[in-house]
Amino acid sequence: MTGQVHLNHQPVMADTATQWLFTRPGVYVDATLGNGGHSERLLLIHEDNRVVGVDRDPDALERARERLSSYGDRVFYVHGNFAQLDHLVPSALTPVQGVLFDLGVSSPQLEDPERGFSYQHDALLDMRMNPEGERTAFRVVNMADKAELTHIIRDYGEERWASRIADFIVTMRRREPIRTTGQLVDVIKAAIPAASRRTGGHPARRTFQALRMWVNEEPESLDQGLEQALTISAPGGRIAVLSYHSLEDRAVKQRFRLWQDSNSGSILTKKPLVADEAEVRRNARSRSAKLRVFQH
C-alpha cells in the first residue's frame, strides 16, 4: 500500500542516527528499511555509500523501492527478518561499515487498518509485520491460557494490570471469539480500573505493544540481530539502535555493555541520545525514541 503520505513519512532522528553511524564510505545495512528515510540519508552522506535494506514487510520494501529508485544499484533490497542478518546480507558486501536498527512500527503499518496493529482503528486482530508469519494476535488472544497471556502482557508490555486483563480476555472469549481490535480494546478498558485509565495514555497501549512484540518475536529477533550485526561489521564499524520503550532500550544497553566488557569495541553513547524539541514538535513519534551507538 503506497502513497505520497507514506513516502513523506518522517524517519525518527534521521540526521543524528546516520551521522553517528557513518564513519567512512562503504556498505551500510539498514536492518529495518521501512520507508527508506534513514537509508536515503546514508546515500546522501557520501556518493560512494551503498545500502543493504532489510525488511520483513513486503509492503515496506515496495515503498522504499519507490522512494529510493533514483539511487539505482546503490541499494540492495532484501525481504527477511534481521534475526538472520548473516544470511541476508550478501557475503560479497561484508564486512560492512555500519548497521542501523529502528525498532519502531512505521506509520503506514499503524495507519493501515487491515494490519490490525492499532488500537485506534477497528480491524481484524493480526499484527504480523510479515503477512506470511504463523503467529497472529487473534491466535494468542483466543488460544493462549491465562498464565501465558499474563506473562506476555506483563513482560512484553510492562502492564501492571496484566493478570486482570488476561482474566477478562479469557472470560470474554468463552462467550464469543475476540476477532477485532475494537473488541479487544473494550475488554482492556473494562479490565483496567477507571482511576488507572485516566493516566498513562491510552489504556490499551501496553497490551497492544505486548501482543505485537510476541506475534513478531521481537525480543528474540533483536537479540539475534544485534549479535549478527557485530559479526558482519568491519573493525571500526558502528551499530546504531533506535528504541521506543524501556524493554528494548534495556536490552540494547545490556548487549552493548557485554560487548564492551568482552573487548569487542566501545560504547559511544554513554547515555542515549534523544530527539530535540523541534523534532518532537514536528513528529510526535520521536518523543520516546532513544539512540544508542556502539563501535566495533
Return the CATH number at 36: 3.40.50.150
Residue 222 lies in a domain: yes
Per-residue model confidence (pLDDT) at position 115: 80
Q: Are residues 24 and 90 in the same domain?
A: yes
Average pLDDT over residues 79-105: 94
Return the HEC string of the chain. CCCHHHHCCCCCCHHHHHHHHCCCCCEEEECCCCCCHHHHHHHHHCCCCEEEEEECCHHHHHHHHHHCHHHHHHEEEEECCHHHHHHHCCHHHCCEEEEEEECCCCHHHHHCHHHCCCCCCCCECCCCCCCCCCCCHHHHHHHCCHHHHHHHHHHHHCCCCHHHHHHHHHHHHHHCCCCEHHHHHHHHHHHCCHHHHCCCCCCCHHHHHHHHHHHCCHHHHHHHHHHHHHHHEEEEEEEEEEECCHHHHHHHHHHHHHHHHCCCCEECCCCCECCCHHHHHHCHHHHHCEEEEEEC
251, 243, 256, 252: which is closest to 288 by C-alpha?
Answer: 243
Q: Confidence band (pLDDT; 50, 70, 90) for 207? A: very high
Residue 25's pLDDT is 97
pLDDT at 195 over 50: yes
Q: Which of residues 238 and 134 earns the better pLDDT score?
A: 238
Q: With a cut of 50, say whether residue 4 has pLDDT above it.
A: no
Structural domain count of the chain: 2
Is residue 205 in some structural domain?
Answer: yes
- Choice among 87-101, 124-138, 259-273 with the minimum mean pLDDT: 124-138
* pLDDT at res. 2: 37
Are residues 64 and 97 located together in one domain of the fold?
yes
Domain identity same for 30 and 99: yes
Domain annotation covers residue 265: yes
> Do the domain assignments include residue 123?
no
What residue numbers bound the domain in which 89 lies? Answer: 4-49+60-71+82-104+218-238+245-276+283-295
- Taking residues 201-226, report their average pLDDT: 94
> What is the average pLDDT across 68-78?
97
